[in-house]
A and B are shown apart, each in its own frame.
Chain A
Amino acid sequence: MLKLTDIVARGAIVAPLKGKQRDQVIRELIESMVASAIIDREAAEHLYLRVLDRELKSTTGFGKGVAVPHAKDPRMKRISAAIGLSQSGVEFNSLDRQPVYSVVLLISPDDQPNEHLRAMEAIFKHVGSDVFRRLLRQCQDPAQVWSLLLEADAQKHNA
């Protein structure tokens, strides 16, 4: 299985998120990817619209307080994700109509569909765990999130 720390960019962890609405939060996470040089400014606007377009087709707020918005971009060399945490919850049009507390924005290259699936597998194996989700929600800053991802990759939370 792919490691979370191989997918998530260390500089693209936003905790806490400022936004309370889906589009604001997607914007914050895209900006964190620009700031950590995963995508360039020019790609950012395009990707923002691609991710929103995908949400309008069907929500990626899959329930249990988690959303995994995503898009593909031919300029990406490898898969990369940003993580955002909200204390108060984000309005995300989720399947279960509940607010979202953890958002993983995943940007994949155009031509590696299986890598995209493997990244989704890794993300859902972890966020599907009640223990992992609880620990993630308790993180106060990006450093704590990164530590948790390292621990999760070492398989400490597969309860």
Chain B
Amino acid sequence: MSTRHEVKVTIINRLGLHARPAMSFVDAASVFKSEVKVCREDTEVDGKSIMQMMMLAAGQGTELTIIAEGPDAEAACKALKALVDAGFEEE
């Protein structure tokens, strides 16, 4: 059964969503079967593509919406939110 879930997150780490955290996000998203989109205002990118994630230019304090659609959408949202909330284990 396919479901759609979305969750709002705020980037808290000082350096923002630079290449390494973006890679962590993509790696974490890719574990799930669901499609994962990440939105910043009117920009929507594929949460499993590092090249697209780098287009978000999401600095500290930026609000993003994570939208997952598929069999494990809820789990995907939960895991990705936890990663962002933990500041990608950075300062």
A15 within 8 A of B: no
Q: Are B51 and A62 in contact (CB under 8 A)?
A: yes
Residues of A within 8 A of B51 (CB): 62-64, 66, 124, 127-128
Q: Which residue, A118, A123, A124, has most C-beta atoms of chain B within 10 A?
A: A124
Q: Are B50 and A63 in contact (CB under 8 A)?
A: yes
Query: B33 to chain A: closest CB distance in Å?
Result: 20
Q: Are A121 and B54 in contact (CB under 8 A)?
A: yes
* Contact stretch, chosen from A37-45, A80-88, A109-117, A146-154: A109-117
B17 within 8 A of A: yes
Interface string of B56-80 (1 = CB under 8 A from A): 1111100000000000000000000
Q: Are A68 and B59 in contact (CB under 8 A)?
A: no
In the complex where A121-B57, A124-B54, A127-B51 touch, is A58 in contact with B20 (Cβ < 8 A)? yes
A57 within 8 A of B: yes
Q: Are B55 and A128 in contact (CB under 8 A)?
A: yes
Interface string of A27-69 (1 = CB under 8 A from B): 0000000000000000000000000000001101011101010
B23 within 8 A of A: yes
Interface size on B, residues (CB 8 A): 18
Q: Are B18 and A113 in contact (CB under 8 A)?
A: yes
Q: Are B54 and A120 in contact (CB under 8 A)?
A: yes
CA–CA, A64 to B54, complex, Å?
14
Q: Are A114 and B52 in contact (CB under 8 A)?
A: no
A70 within 8 A of B: yes
CA–CA, A95 to B50, complex, Å?
10
CA–CA, A124 to B45, complex, Å?
12
B86 within 8 A of A: no
